[in-house]
A and B are shown apart, each in its own frame.
Chain A
Amino acid sequence: MTAGQIRPIANSVRSGAARAVDVLNGYLARIDAREAEINAFNLVLHDEARERAEVIDAEVAAGRDPGVLAGVPIALKDNMCTRGVPTTCSSKILQDWRPPYDATVVQRLAAAGAVIVGKTNLDEFAMGSSTENSAFGPTRNPLDVTRVPGGSSGGSAAAVAAGFAAGSLGSDTGGSIRQPAALCGVVGVKPTYGTVSRLGLVAFASSLDQIGPFTTDVADAALLLEAIAGHDPGDSTSIPKPFPSLEPSLTRGVEGLRIGRITDLPGGADADVQARVDAAFDALAAAGATIVDVTIPAFTYGLTAYYLIAPAEASSNLARYDGVRYGMRVAAADTNAMYSATRSAGFGPEVRRRIMLGTYALSAGYYDAYYGKALKVRRLMAHDFDAAYADVDVVLTPASPSVAFPFGSKTSDPLAMYLCDTYTIPSNLTGHPAMSVPFGTGADGLPVGVQVLAPALGEATMFAVAAELERAAGAAQ
């Protein structure tokens, strides 16, 4: 499914040419047909979505404009708070928890007329690269159900790839939007840190987390991102500037743009993936861009910096799940025993592993050697990218080292799983935007995603390059 869906739906619902209820029913029918197999959702909101679609239709009938996402069915990663609707993070510790408030992105989707169809599956607390770490069972890749959809936003990627929603939101802390987008053959965007409010996004690693869209094409991604982006006074790290329109980027082309090729990029990408990235450089050169070699010496240290910083922040962010105010409690004779019993039973193995790693990295005697050093590597990474962006407008890399891999192939070795994030992590450390665009297929006919990286607030250029890649991929078919 490569044609855009969001724009046509919103246009026809706003004009009265189509009813939101009918649009929704089409998506719900696909969910009913295939969700048992895919397990993209922790919760499908059949009734709430229908009621909402009826409200949208009534608005249109009354002559009001419900907004740029009028009647568009959207799926939400289940780590974004929805008032009165369970928000689980695919963890037993939050099973059945119903937030008393809506995340800012949920409010913005509602204000734009979107219809929320459900809450999607994820690796528990967004920790993982395959959605196998969910307490509620893995999500299957709609393109090959023997393989993972990627992670941690695997449910959101699969929902769009399977036609369960016209678009979805994921969160990206180390590649959790871009990698599953690549593995499911959809567009996935991690915007500049601070572009989309984190208020109501259940935190994994606060200085790295960012919400972004999954869509079937680049134009839809631009529209969905514009709808959720913009300053939020409720998030102290939100950039206090209006988000620019990406519309002009979609037709700009790449004439005159300088595309960076990182000559010291860490190895590890499979040959089929690398071949598609090489083809992407060729396509952009053919479309009028210049390919420029750059070096990012710190790139190779990104994984280490990330796997110290993210668990450190997570160890603190996840300390609040203590069985006192909400969520699961395992009874014990005293409060301290209750804490340990609850947390040991409520968190899965990967979450426990990262909490311990992060606690260690911050603890007395080890802080300087691990967390402190990782923060300095983070600075080196930002310096190296800043230097590269003096010479180029964007950088191209693989989004994932491989196409979708079979279930269980990396679950016994945490480090092997972590290596899935090699190419996506640096953008989270720097806070810069990056997106994955489907660009043909690799082994077994599975999709390959090419990652476009841009400097801070460089979304306009990034989308211009992504749109060009999309045109080139379409022309090649």
Chain B
Amino acid sequence: MSAAPWMHEGFEMVVGLEVHVELATATKLFSGSPNRFGDEPNTNIDPVTLGLPGALPVLNRQAVELAMRIGLALGCTVQECVFARKNYFYPDMPKAYQISQYDRPLNVDGRLDLPDGSSVGVERAHLEEDTGKSTHIGGSGRIHGSEGSLIDFNRAGVPLVEIVSRPDISSPDQARLYAAELRAILVAVGASDARMEEGSMRVDANVSVRRPGEPLGTRCEIKNVNSVRSLGRAIDYEARRQVALITAGESIRQETRHWDEADGRTHTLRTKEDADDYRYFPEPDLVPVCPDAAWIDAVRASLPPLPAQRRQQLAEATGQAIDGEAVMTIVERGQDAYVHAVIAAGGAGERAVIHVKEAFAEAGIDPALPAATLASLIAMETGGQLTATQAKTVLADLIAQPNGDPVAIAAERGFEAMASDELEAMVDAAIAADPDAWEKFCAGEGKAMGALVGHVMKASRGQADGKVVTALLQARRPT
């Protein structure tokens, strides 16, 4: 799963990602209104959320703690920090300033190691508040040509952490790996549900291109990327667009561009010529946060094993590749603890990985089936009482009735293991019945084996284990 390098007409890409993630707190960053998605518009509001005259913010301790969890999971230094006001007018920003962090963020200088062995620097991960939501009326729901907008402030003041990477990313694949790995970490530490589709994790990409060894090119910021897959497409499109401009002798304008999922292109949102002047200054209504060593240590100690460590443990326990699909998928789904429990109950690791990956894809990340039951089933399979196909069938039945007994289900289904002498007799009968196929099989024609196995399966009404039959046939072949 190594990231494919990106190179286009002699140019390489330089990408940094800014990820905004909504924290899983009960209340907002600076007030006690619920932090809840999907409520009736403007019901989770209070004087602070609405920016009413006289309202004052009070910091949510849990938001600070979740932000620290993110910082520590990314190997950041957690430091004394202050809040700052970022001043700009927009109707979904109630105070006309966003309380964010500027020159003294909570977390700095971290690193994210990716499954392909590369790593990306994390410049900072700071706390800030979210905005409300605008709905554009008329103009088919888009901002351009709309007759006006309606504002819902339920989301305003929801705690966000903005994680800013260093411009260490050099391919769309690597960007995808970064976003996926970051998402896995955010979920693992309990900081956020990090759902890109629902907007609880938002990824903006700063993209520029250059010939290797040259200084950094002019960058464009890409917004509105709604999935990990789109992230790769958007970056690839944008870098190619920039290369085309440069090779045509044109220059890149620094601007914010909007990814359009439908046409697969980025479009100019606004140029940065009229430079943003946010007039950041220290927020006088809040005091500094000084996490002491005891607090930092306690948060660090409470961190669960991170996805990279879990993948390693799962790979070791199951003999699978650490960046193989099975290990990646199971850890991403959070089912690795279950696999370890199956192994502890005596189930073979390599079979456990396969069953969990395949059978529990739909069943959610938390299998209801007792680990011991799956271990028993796997034992029947590895002991030869059940074929792989039969085991799968029994497992499907067990998922429907988690309290079921695999032995009983196998019996009900008629999956009696065949006595080996009976099977040997069937193999001999098959050879006798189709000497032509046998001859071809002995001559090394692989296809002929299918016919022989087919005879046995027919005779056994499908109860024979295909693998065992193959082994018996091969044992009979003269060498």
In angstroms, Cα B54 to Cα A94, docked, is 13
Q: How far apart are A133's CB and chain B's nearest CB, in angstroms?
A: 18
In-complex Cβ contact of B53 among A237, A312, A320 (8 A): A320
- Say whether A206 contacts B284, CB under 8 Å: yes
Question: B72-80, B90-98, B238-246: which one contacts chain A?
Answer: B90-98
Instruction: Judge whether A202 is part of the interface by a CB distance below 8 angstroms.
Output: yes
Known: A237-B285, A319-B96, A363-B277. A87 touches B53 (CB 8 A): yes
Q: Does A50 contact B (CB under 8 A)?
A: no
- B52 engages A316 (CB within 8 Å): no
Query: Are B52 and A326 neighbours in the complex by a CB distance under 8 Å?
Result: yes
Q: Are B277 and A203 in contact (CB-based, < 8 A)?
A: no
User: Using Cβ atoms and an 8 Å threshold, which residues of chain A touch B50?
Assistant: 325-326
CA A339 – CA B88 in complex, angstroms?
A: 12
The complex places the Cα of A236 from the Cα of B279 at a distance, in Å, of 23
Contact B89–A339 (Cβ < 8 Å): yes
**Which residues on B sit within 8 Å (CB–CB) of A207?**
284
B56→A198 contact, CB < 8 A: yes
Partner of A203, one of B54, B58, B89, B275: B54
* B454: Cβ under 8 A from any A Cβ: no
Q: Is the Cβ of A81 less than 8 Å from the Cβ of B53?
A: yes
Shortest CB-to-CB span from A323 to chain B, Å, is 9
Chain B positions 128-162 with a Cβ under 8 Å from a chain A Cβ: 149, 151
Question: A244 an interface residue at 8 Å Cβ cutoff?
Answer: no
Residues on the A chain within 8 Å of B277, using CB? 363-364
Interface residue? A103 (CB, 8 A)? yes
| B96 and A236 contacting across the interface, CB-CB below 8 Å | no
A206 to B96, CA, bound (A): 16
A313 to B89, CA, bound (A): 16
Taking the closest CB of chain B, its distance from the CB of A234, in whole angstroms, is 6
B47 and A233 within 8 A (CB): no
Contacting residues of chain A (314-354) with chain B, CB-CB under 8 angstroms:
315-316, 319-320, 322, 324-326, 335-336, 339
Which of A89, A234, A363 has the most chain B CB atoms closer than 10 A to its own CB?
A234
B340 at the interface (CB under 8 A from A): no
Establish whether residues A316 and B275, one from each chain, have CB atoms under 8 Å apart when the complex forms. no
Q: Does B281 contact A (CB under 8 A)?
A: yes
* Shortest CB distance B373–A (Å): 52
Chain B residues in 8 Å Cβ range of A235: 56, 58
Of A103, A362, A363, A364, the residue contacting B54 (CB under 8 A) is A103
**How many chain-B residues does the 8 Å CB contact rule pick out?**
29
| Closest B residue to A87 using CB positions | B53
- B27-64 vs A, CB cutoff 8 Å, 1 = contact: the mask equals 00000000000000000000100111111111100000
In the complex, whether A24 has a CB less than 8 A from a CB of chain B is no
Is there contact, CB below 8 Å, between A371 and B281?
Answer: yes
Instruction: Please tell me if the beta carbons of A236 and B52 are within 8 angstroms of each other in the complex.
Output: no
**Residue A6 is within 8 A (CB to CB) of chain B in the complex:** no
Which residue, of B47, B54, B97, B287, has the highest number of chain A Cβ atoms within 10 A? Answer: B54
Looking at the assembled complex, report how far the CB atom of A187 sits from the nearest CB atom of chain B, in whole angstroms: 26
Bound complex: CA A101 to CA B51 (Å): 13
Which of B95, B149, B151, B281 sits near A320, CB closer than 8 Å? B95
Contact A313 B91 (CB under 8 A): no
Q: In which size bucket is the chain A interface?
A: 35 or more
Q: How far is the CA of A319 from the CA of B279 in the complex (A)?
A: 12
A125–B85 alpha-carbon span in the complex (Å)? 20
Contact A202 B53 (CB under 8 A): yes
Asked if A200 meets B91 with Cβ closer than 8 Å, knowing A236-B286, A319-B97, the reply is no
Closest Cβ of chain B to A321, distance in Å, is: 8
Indicate if A99 sits at the interface (CB-CB under 8 A): yes
Asked if residues B58 and A233 are in contact (CB atoms below 8 Å), the reply is: yes
Known contacts A236-B287, A237-B285, A362-B279; is A319 also within 8 Å of B53 by CB?
A: no
> Would you give the shortest CB distance from B43 to chain A, in whole angstroms?
14
CA distance A316 to B341 in the complex (A): 57
Considering the chains assembled together, what is the distance between the CA atoms of A80 and B53 in angstroms? 9
- Per-residue interface assignment for chain B, residues 262 to 294, with 1 indicating a CB less than 8 Å from any chain A CB and 0 otherwise: 000000000000010101010011110000000
| Interface status of B230 (Cβ within 8 A of chain A) | no
CB of B283, distance to nearest CB on chain A (Å): 8
The complex places the Cα of A202 from the Cα of B95 at a distance, in Å, of 13
Confirm or deny: A199 has a beta carbon within 8 angstroms of a beta carbon on chain B: yes
Q: CB within 8 Å of B: which of A214-233?
A: 233
Instruction: Judge whether B87 is part of the interface by a CB distance below 8 angstroms.
Output: yes
In the complex, chain A residues whose CB is within 8 Å of the CB of B279? 315-316, 359, 362-364, 367
Q: Which residues of B contact A (CB under 8 A)?
A: 47, 50-59, 85, 87, 89, 91, 94-97, 149, 151, 275, 277, 279, 281, 284-287
Q: List 26 A-B contacts (CB under 8 A).
A: A80-B54, A81-B53, A81-B54, A87-B53, A87-B54, A99-B54, A200-B54, A206-B284, A207-B284, A234-B56, A234-B58, A235-B58, A236-B57, A236-B285, A312-B281, A313-B284, A320-B51, A320-B94, A320-B96, A325-B52, A336-B89, A362-B87, A364-B275, A364-B279, A367-B279, A367-B281
The interface of chain A, by Cβ under 8 A from chain B, is 80-81, 87, 89, 94, 97, 99-101, 103, 198-203, 205-207, 233-237, 312-313, 315-316, 319-320, 322, 324-326, 335-336, 339, 359, 362-364, 367, 371
